[in-house]
Amino acid sequence: MERAHAEWGMGARGAEAAGIGLAQGIGLCLLASAAATPTTWPATVPWMFEPLALILTFLPPLAMLSRPRLSRRAAAIWLAAVMAVVVAIAVHDATRGTPRHIDGEAAFWPPAEVWFSLGATVFVAYAVAIVGIRERTLRPSHGEMFAEASRTFLQLALAGVFVGVFWLVLYAGDQLFKLVRIEFLGELLQRNWFAYPATSLAFAAALTLADARPAVINGIRSVVVALFSWLLPVVALIVLVFLAGLPFVSLEALWKSRMSAGLLLGMSAALAFFLNCATQSGADGQPPAGVRRIAAICAALEILPLVALAAWGLSLRVGQYGWSADRVTAAATMAVAGVAGIGYALAAIPRGAWLKRVEPTNLAVAYVFVLVMVGLHTPLADPARLMVADQLARLRSGAVAPDEFDFAALKFDGARWGNAALAALAEDPGATEAVRSKAKDALQKTSRYTPAREISTSEEFRRSVTVFPKGREVPEGLFEAIAGARDRMNVGCSTTSGQRCTVIFLTTRPGVPESVIFYDRIRARLFEPLAGSGWRLAGEVQGATHCPAVREALGRGEFRLEPHGYPDLRVGSRLLSIDPVSPRGCD
């Protein structure tokens, strides 16, 4: 019996994994209880709470994966090194002064981007380190490294699916019990002291069972790699047609799209992934098939142009608006992708084994990726610090006018460096009154999407809106009408450029007085003049009012009036309107 248990991973390794999983669940449960209202220690100490949360998330699965592959001493050293890096990143993130962008957002747990980026970094480092420690070299075997990475990814994916099915079974059992008026299971599922340990134990069990059947995992891995390798010709052909069509079209539409850089980098990542699947599906460095060999060479040559296009687009945005935290992160991502693009292009040179230079390229990319990600999450290359330094330089040099400067970005994207810069600007005797006022206004904000303080006078309202056509003034009584409709809308304006509102004059029907559209950051409302004096809220403008291009075109008067395509429906005192379907999105 013991032999059978050991064969299925339920012997000493299974008991060890169960102990690790149970400890992880209990630890996360205690952290969740501490973060609940009322907050208790250690949630009251962010620089302690966040490292604990990240350690309890990443270290237990890493220990369960590392122990069967390394000696106890090597595993202990490896896990201690990972823990030191995780703690350093977590302490930095907890103390960098990152504000929450939404009022009431929980400030205890690490932000989602930290979970994701740290998880990716640990995964890549694990794939390199495990093989490197085993082989005692900084240049581990590429085949072993690829096998370890793909096998581990499959194990984690299967464990995640197992946990999902586990909870689905529990919820189905709860519904079944309720049919016979048994309520205890439903109440049990809502308790943290059950949910966290049960989830971590289920994950540990799935990870251990999957690890106990390496032949099965390797078989699945081989099938998955072979299947994905056949997608390479499709992706390579799509990118080839795209690149071939670039000389015959204008790139203006590409640069206008805010997702162009992300799309180009995403296609580069897809090419790299499918290319590696194709290279690994062959045997002894030989090409698996003619069409996939041609596709692999094309893909290796296509990655660099895609990355170059993305970098070109980013450089245009930086030239216009300077560096933001997102652009710094994008530039770092492009640097990693650029290393891959150059390496793969060199690997496509027909010399020696088939795409043999893919192997050192992947190793170099792995090392660069880990270093870049660690740098971005430490003061060395924190995007917020770099963004604040660049934006302040642009403001002081006159490259951007104070009315066009995004002070809110310093507050909500600049972390402690941005807040320190705003405090300095607010008290800087050499700065203009407008700069000092806007800096003070940004410092008072508690949320990025609401003004720092409520507009209370008509004069403040006049200073916080832009009127179209240019030269017109805000009509008398409009602010009072907006303020009187606060149960249905918010004034939502500020004197800072990022929160300015718009008032647009227009005539909705021939022979009637002019109406105005009041535009906040997203929504648009129509106000009509009353017979004597004043204004009333007449309706809401539906459609793509959130699109900047629509707002700008309305301000320039580039619109026309069209009658309703469908009549309204009167149901008692209610009026129903039918809006024709229009294209989604802003492109």
Nearest CA to 516 among 462, 474, 459?
A: 474
**Which secondary-structure segment (H or E) carries 428?**
none
Would you state the structure tokens that stand for residue 127, as one six-digit string? 């794939």
pLDDT value for 101: 47
Q: Which ranges constitute the DSSP H helices of 348-457?
A: 358-376, 383-397, 407-413, 415-426, 433-443
> What is the rounded CA–CA span in Å between residue 530 and residue 526?
13
Q: Is 73 exposed, middle or buried (0-12, 13-18, 19+ CB in 10 A)?
A: exposed
- Maximum alpha-carbon separation in the chain: 94
Does residue 197 share a domain with residue 123?
yes
Gyration radius from the chain CA atoms: 29
Strand partners, 528: 536
pTM of the model: 0.78
3-state secondary structure of 473: coil
Helix axes 192-211, 142-179, angle to 10 degrees: 140
Does residue 63 share a domain with residue 196?
yes
Does residue 399 share a domain with residue 324?
no
469 upstream amide cis, omega within 30 of 0: yes
pLDDT value for 310: 93
Question: Does the residue 488 lie in any domain?
Answer: yes
Domain's final residue, options 147, 181, 212: 212
Does residue 511 share a domain with residue 422?
no
Does residue 14 share a domain with residue 111?
yes
Strand partners, 466: 502
Question: Does the residue 457 lie in any domain?
Answer: no
Does residue 372 share a domain with residue 261?
yes
For the chain, the straight-line distance linking the first and the last C-alpha, in angstroms and rounded, comes to 65
Nearest CA to 33 among 52, 59, 19, 60?
A: 52
> What is the rounded CA–CA span in Å between residue 276 and residue 361?
11
Nearest CA to 458 among 474, 434, 470?
A: 474
In contact, 108 and 52? CB cutoff 8 Å: no
Strand partners, 557: none
pLDDT value for 255: 67
3-state secondary structure of 353: coil
Residue 276 belongs to what domain range? 222-376
Does residue 239 share a domain with residue 349?
yes
pLDDT value for 487: 47
In contact, 74 and 133? CB cutoff 8 Å: yes
60 upstream amide cis, omega within 30 of 0: no
pLDDT value for 73: 93
pLDDT value for 80: 96
Question: Does the residue 449 lie in any domain?
Answer: no
In contact, 533 and 541? CB cutoff 8 Å: no
Does residue 492 share a domain with residue 519?
yes
Number of domains in the chain: 4
Does residue 123 share a domain with residue 186?
yes
Q: Which are the contacts of 374, defined by CB distance < 8 A and separation ≥ 6? A: 85, 89, 121
pLDDT value for 489: 45
Q: Which are the contacts of 510, defined by CB distance < 8 A and separation ≥ 6? A: none
> What is the rounded CA–CA span in Å between residue 7 and residue 19?
19
3-state secondary structure of 190: coil
Domain's final residue, options 212, 241, 261: 212
Does residue 111 share a domain with residue 176?
yes
Does residue 98 share a domain with residue 54?
yes
Would you state the structure tokens that stand for residue 146, as one six-digit string? 């690829």
Tens place of pLDDT for every residue, the chain, 587 residues? 334 444 444 567 778 889 999 999 999 999 999 988 788 888 888 899 999 999 999 999 999 999 889 999 999 999 999 999 999 999 999 999 877 544 444 467 888 889 999 999 999 999 999 999 999 999 999 889 988 999 999 999 999 999 999 999 999 999 999 998 888 888 999 999 999 999 999 999 999 988 888 888 888 888 888 899 899 999 999 999 999 988 887 777 666 666 688 889 999 999 999 998 888 765 444 555 678 888 988 999 999 999 999 999 899 889 988 999 999 999 999 999 999 999 999 888 766 565 677 889 999 999 999 999 999 999 999 999 999 999 999 999 988 888 788 888 898 899 999 999 999 999 988 888 888 988 988 888 777 666 555 666 778 788 778 888 888 888 888 888 887 765 444 556 655 445 678 888 888 877 788 888 888 766 788 899 888 788 888 888 877 777 777 777 776 778 777 777 788 888 887 778 777 776 666 65
The DSSP secondary-structure symbol of 533 reads: S
In contact, 189 and 174? CB cutoff 8 Å: yes
